[in-house]
Amino acid sequence: MKGIERLFDPLRLMINGQKVIVVLPAYNAALTLEKTYAEIDRTVVDEVILVDDASKDDTVNKAKAIGISLVISHERNKGYGGNQKSCYRKALEAGADIIVMLHPDYQYTPALIGPMVSLIANKVYPVVLGSRILGKGALKGGMPFYKYVANRLLTAVQNLLMGQKLSEYHTGYRAYHRDVLQAIPFENNSDDFIFDNEILAQIFYKGFDVAEITCPTKYFDEASSINFSRSLQYGFGVLRVSFQYLFQRAGIAQFRLFRNL
């Protein structure tokens, strides 16, 4: 009976029968997880997977209590990039056609999952990013001004070096078709925050197109963020990845990041 209902559900037809899995890379997200999960549209999303990166709070028990279908817990902290690797690996194993990565800290609205998924399911784009910079969402949502300026400057340099036109490379709200994740060696990437930039560099190097959709954002005490020193380290890492992309494309050098692409 459930299979018949799904077959004739107009929202299911809208996304062309693609299996949609939302992955939540979590670390100390107990205070914001329930609110994030409650706003995920389950008429569009088939399954939600949470990977907890050895949180020090009650994230795992909270996830199980609110009914998240699959909760995975790392015994030791593997870092933001390491967490994403587990998320994507498990989503692919579960048969996802479209994987949406949403932070469970409620900084990004789950309301955009439907539009992001539709662009992929209808074969308009294989990758969709939720951009905080398109429009006026970033500063309006409380992004610190120094982070906003750094975001814009880094993005400008990245676009120049990588020959792209993104509004930002640093969003944590992303949707991929499974073909994209299967075509790139994301396991080669860093386990730290620079993972997000490395995976985009691989995607562009492989020739996939990327769409952006305007995304409002919220900055508050419980939302995850990195401090100034980590931000500085991240910024240098971003520049390194961009130059590696440039040199690899120009045939000047080869890097592990692009191996087998």
Average pLDDT over residues 77-98: 97
The pLDDT-based confidence of 69 (bands split at 50, 70, 90) is confident
Give the domain range for residue 18. Answer: 2-258
What is the average pLDDT across 59-68?
A: 96
Among 126-135, 147-156, 213-222, 249-258, which is the least confidently predicted range? 213-222
Q: What is the CA radius of gyration of the chain?
A: 18
Q: What CATH number has the domain bearing residue 248?
A: 3.90.550.10
What percent of the chain clears pLDDT 90, i.e. is strictly above it?
A: 77
**Is the predicted pLDDT of residue 3 greater than 50, yes or no?**
no
* 170-202 tens-digit pLDDT: 999 999 999 999 999 999 999 999 999 999 999
Number of domains into which the chain is organized: 1
Q: Pull the structure tokens for residue 16.
A: 């062309």
114 pLDDT band, cuts 50/70/90, is: very high
Other C-beta atoms closer than 10 Å to the C-beta of 115 total 14
Average pLDDT over residues 48-71: 96
Quickly count: other Cβ atoms within 10 Å of residue 183's Cβ. Answer: 17
In the predicted structure, residue 136 carries a pLDDT above the cut 80: no
pLDDT at 4: 42
Q: In the prediction, which pLDDT does 18 show?
A: 93
Q: Per-residue pLDDT for 161 more than 90?
A: yes
Residue 226 — very low, low, confident or very high, per pLDDT cuts 50/70/90? low
pLDDT value, residue 2:
42
Position 40 scores a pLDDT of: 96
Q: Is 90 helix (H, G, I), strand (E, B) or coil?
A: helix
- Write down the residue that tokens 């989503």 correspond to: 91
The pLDDT of residue 227 is 64
pLDDT at 7: 42
Q: How far apart are CA 152 and CA 184, in angstroms?
A: 27
Q: What rounded mean pLDDT belongs to the chain? A: 90
pLDDT above 80: residue 157: yes
Q: What local confidence, expressed as pLDDT, does residue 195 receive?
A: 97
Rounded distance, CA 69 to CA 210, Å?
29
Q: What share of the chain is helix, strand, coil (3-state, %, to 5)?
A: 45, 15, 40
